[in-house]
Amino acid sequence: MNCNKTIKKALNIAIPFVLGGAILWWMYRDYDFKKMEDTLVHGMNWGWMLFSLIFGITAQMFRGIRWKQTLEPLGEHPKIMDCIHAIFISYACSLVIPRSGEVTRCGVLTKYDGVSFPKALGTVVTERIIDSLLLLIIIIAVILWQLTVFDSFFDTTGTNIEDTLRGFTTTGYIVTAICAVITICFLCIAMKRFTFMNKVKEAFDNMKAGVMSLKDVKNKWLFAFYTIAIWLSYFIHYWTTFNCFEFTQNLGFTVAIVSFIVGSISVIVPTPNGAGPWHFAVKTIFILYGVAAGNAETFVLIVFAVQTALVPILGIYSTIMLGLRSNDEITKHFESQQNNL
């Protein structure tokens, strides 16, 4: 049994790397890497690249500050820097195990600030919902604005939503719905039979409290500001890299926002930091806007590598900073937390 669990965990880690690696190999199997070397040494403005990293940091800092704001209505008062450190560490962990960052950052605050893990996880769910809604609004607006380009993108990548839906008959929809209902009913019955149902219910209630914490946030306008600041930082983090290369510096805002949105959608595929799907999506958009394939491949390869390198650096920094905190300091903070309750 333990062997099966070990194999399952190993596969969960290995499959995203294999998937991302396979896409990258397919994309760059005929690529001349000497071109990238020449670009790195002679054809790139490193000043702009380093400048872009500032916004990669601010995006994560705003996320940490916003997280503290959602925790406060639940009676949790972690330090701002601990929230930021937790975010830095979570992104670094997600590079190793995709999607593990959400759990990791909650664990960090539980360890160093005594924050309830289920409540923290609930606020993370809240954040994801808000971010997804904002991103969805931006996606719809950009697609409507650049409908012709997205139509070409779907044709180029072989994605045709109409053909996919056409494959479903009325019977198919009915059978799918019935299967979904049966599955939900089966899960409900099975969960009631578990002896730890009370603990599960308690954890669920805490998570629900975290999700509902948004309605009790003191300054909702400030929350909205942090949310916009997060995504604006991500966008500037990406857009400023256009100034690093001669073949992208004149592309303009339209190409930047369209490729940013498509790239953001592509990272849904569970590979480390979106490696592979992001490269393919952004490269395809660049080509549709007239950028040579070789130049597009060079751009996505360098930008992704440099900006991704920032993630483990921040994670290591935060791990060290938290590790330097003494047990007495942590204990005092726990006591102050209890006094605030």
Quick: pLDDT tens for 166-213. 544 555 555 556 555 655 665 565 555 544 445 555 545 555 555 566
Please provide the average confidence, as pLDDT, over all residues in the chain.
79
Q: Which residue has the higher pLDDT, 124 or 16?
A: 124
What pLDDT score was predicted for residue 196? Answer: 45
- 239 — pLDDT class (breaks 50, 70, 90): very high
To the nearest whole percent, how much of the chain has pLDDT over 90?
30
The confidence score (pLDDT) of residue 205 equals 56
DSSP state for residue 273 in the 8-state scheme: G
List Cβ neighbours of 33 (8 Å cut-off, separation of 6 or more): none
Burial class (CB in 10 A: 0-12, 13-18, 19+), 52: buried
If we measure between CA atoms, which residue out of 272, 274, 245, 242 comes closest to residue 258? 242
Q: Classify residue 248 as exposed, middle or buried by CB count within 10 Å of its CB (0-12, 13-18, 19+).
A: buried
Q: Dump the DSSP string for 118-168.
A: HHHHHHHHHHHHHHHHHHHHHHHHHHHHTHHHHHHHHHHHT--HHHHHHT-
Determine the 3-state secondary structure of 196 from DSSP.
Answer: coil
Q: Is residue 334 over pLDDT 90?
A: no
pTM of structure: 0.76
pLDDT reading at 59 higher than 90: yes
Indicate whether 338 pLDDT > 60: no
Query: What's the pLDDT at 150?
Result: 62
State yes or no: pLDDT of 50 exceeds 90: yes
- CA atoms of 326 and 102, how far apart (whole Å): 25
Predicted local confidence at residue 339, as pLDDT = 54
Q: What is the dihedral of CA 275, 278, 279, 282, to 10 degrees?
A: -170
Give the best-scoring range by mean pLDDT among 136-150, 218-232, 323-337.
218-232
Provide the pLDDT for residue 91.
93
How confident is the model at residue 5, as a pLDDT? 65
Residue 334 in contact with residue 316, Cβ under 8 Å? no
- DSSP label of 98: T
> Is the separation of the CB atoms in 261 and 142 below 8 Å?
yes
Instruction: Summarize pLDDT for 81-105 with one digit per residue, the tens.
Output: 999 999 999 999 988 887 788 899 9
Q: Which residues contact 326 (CB under 8 A, 6 or more apart)?
A: none
pLDDT 10s digits, 268-323? 777 777 888 898 889 988 988 888 888 899 999 999 999 999 999 999 999 999 98
Give residue 89's Cα distance to chain centre: 13
> Which pLDDT value is given to residue 167?
46
Cα–Cα distance, 261 to 129 (Å, whole number) = 17
Q: What is the pLDDT of residues 60-69, one digit of tens each?
A: 999 999 999 9
DSSP 112-131: HH---HHHHHHHHHHHHHHH
Tell me which amino acid residue 276 is: G
Average of pLDDT values for 219-232? 92
Residue 249 reports pLDDT greater than 50: yes
Which alpha helices (H) appear in 267-326, and where do they start and end? 277-288, 293-323
**pLDDT at 21 > cutoff 70:** yes
Question: How much is the pLDDT for 152?
Answer: 63
Q: How confident is the model at residue 328 (pLDDT cuts 50, 70, 90)?
A: low
What is the C-alpha radius of gyration for the chain, rounded to an integer number of angstroms? Answer: 23
Rounded Cα gap, residues 93 and 163, in angstroms: 38
